[in-house]
Amino acid sequence: MESDWNRLKKIRHVVMDMDGTIYQGKKLYPTTLPFLALLRSFGIGYTFLTNNSSRGIPEYLKHLEDFGIRVESRQMVSSTINTVDYLRRNRPDIQRLFLLGTKSFREEIVSYGFTDVPMEEEPEAVVAAFDPKLDFERLCKAAWWIRHGKLWICTHPDLECPTELDTTLVDCGSVAACLRTVSGKEPIVLGKPNREMMDTILTVNHVRADETLMCGDRMYTDIQLAVNSGVAGVLISPLPHEQVPGNIATWTVPHLGVLGEWLSRAREI
């Protein structure tokens, strides 16, 4: 594992998924705070990255603070911010949006200068996000606009949202599958594993891809983002590396505590 130790020794920044990686629902994993303290002691920066568009950045900062994690806004990146950045860079002509998403999501989009178009008005694009109170009439209207040629964006591809409840939380990717089927139109899919999210983090933190780790519990978003971005991917899984089906991660650990042990050992070699 000599080459692995050398690679770990170079790490200057760690990017972490949130739900399923540092906490599950309302439960903070016991390894999270010690791991973050270890990163700070080594001078390693870190960023939290989420596809969950249900909260705005200020709400996420408060959510983390409730767990005892204090970070600045630049250390928090969401699929909502990725969507705003995409529209500004690629379609600055579009301002009027038909939005499927939570109240917080819609308010955050509006705070960046976009218009949340009501049902009776014509939008310039449709944006589908996580919406636990998805209204059937709005879903049908979104499908109608998409079928009639409006640009449409899916903020992230996740099929379901992690939960401790005895239910399945249908996420944006599943809603997009419905809209894709009925409209026959393909969306622009943002969020993880879109490498633009990682490119922004690397630029803001002045680090290279080979100095960065991406940690997460989902292969098709977190680890695929690592692969797409050329950074090392650390899968959080109870299974050993070789037993994870289709494992494309650089390394697999049961929790962040093990990764912390590896980072410590790498600095001793």
Q: Convert the pLDDT of each residue in 177-227 to its tens digit.
A: 999 999 999 999 999 999 989 998 999 999 999 999 999 999 999 999 999
- Alpha-carbon distance of 105 to 99, in angstroms, equals 9
Residues 89 and 174 both lie in one domain: yes
- Alpha-carbon distance of 190 to 7, in angstroms, equals 29
Q: 114-164, pLDDT tens digit by residue?
A: 999 999 999 999 999 999 999 999 999 999 999 999 999 999 999 988 777
pLDDT band, very low/low/confident/very high, at 1 (cuts 50, 70, 90): low
Residues 151 and 88 both lie in one domain: yes
Residues 137 and 196 both lie in one domain: no
- Alpha-carbon distance of 243 to 89, in angstroms, equals 41
CB 172 within 8 A of CB 53: yes
Residues 220 and 245 both lie in one domain: yes
Residue 74 within a domain = no
Residues 102 and 161 both lie in one domain: yes
Amino acid identity for residue 169 in this structure:
L
Closest CA to 71 of 80, 79, 63, 83: 63
Residue 62 within a domain = no
pTM of the model: 0.85
Residue 152 within a domain = yes
Evaluate the omega torsion of the peptide bond into residue 193 and state whether it is cis, within 30 degrees of 0.
yes
Amino acid identity for residue 116 in this structure:
D
Residue 61 within a domain = no
pLDDT, residue 164, reads 79
Residue 168 within a domain = yes
Residue 63 within a domain = no
Q: 42-51, pLDDT tens digit by residue?
A: 999 999 999 9
Tell me the pLDDT of the chain averaged across its residues.
95
> Where does a domain end: 189, 220, 252?
189
Amino acid identity for residue 119 in this structure:
M
Q: 69-88, pLDDT tens digit by residue?
A: 999 999 999 999 999 999 99
Residues 158 and 88 both lie in one domain: yes
Give the mean model confidence (pLDDT) for residues 240-258.
95
Q: How far apart are the first and last CA of the chain?
A: 12
Residue 40 CB neighbours (<10 A): 11
Residue 228 within a domain = yes
Residues 174 and 91 both lie in one domain: yes
> Where does a domain end: 189, 216, 251?
189
Residues 199 and 257 both lie in one domain: yes
Residues 93 and 185 both lie in one domain: yes
- Tell me the sheet residues that pair with 213: 14, 232
Residues 87 and 152 both lie in one domain: yes
pLDDT, residue 64, reads 96
pLDDT at 99 over 90: yes
Residue 84 within a domain = yes
Provide the residue range defining the domain that includes 174.
80-189
| Total number of domains constituting the chain | 2
Instruction: Write the CATH number for 20.
Output: 3.40.50.1000
Residues 224 and 154 both lie in one domain: no
Largest CA distance in the chain: 65
> Where does a domain end: 189, 223, 254?
189
Residues 204 and 128 both lie in one domain: no
- Tell me the sheet residues that pair with 127: 99, 153
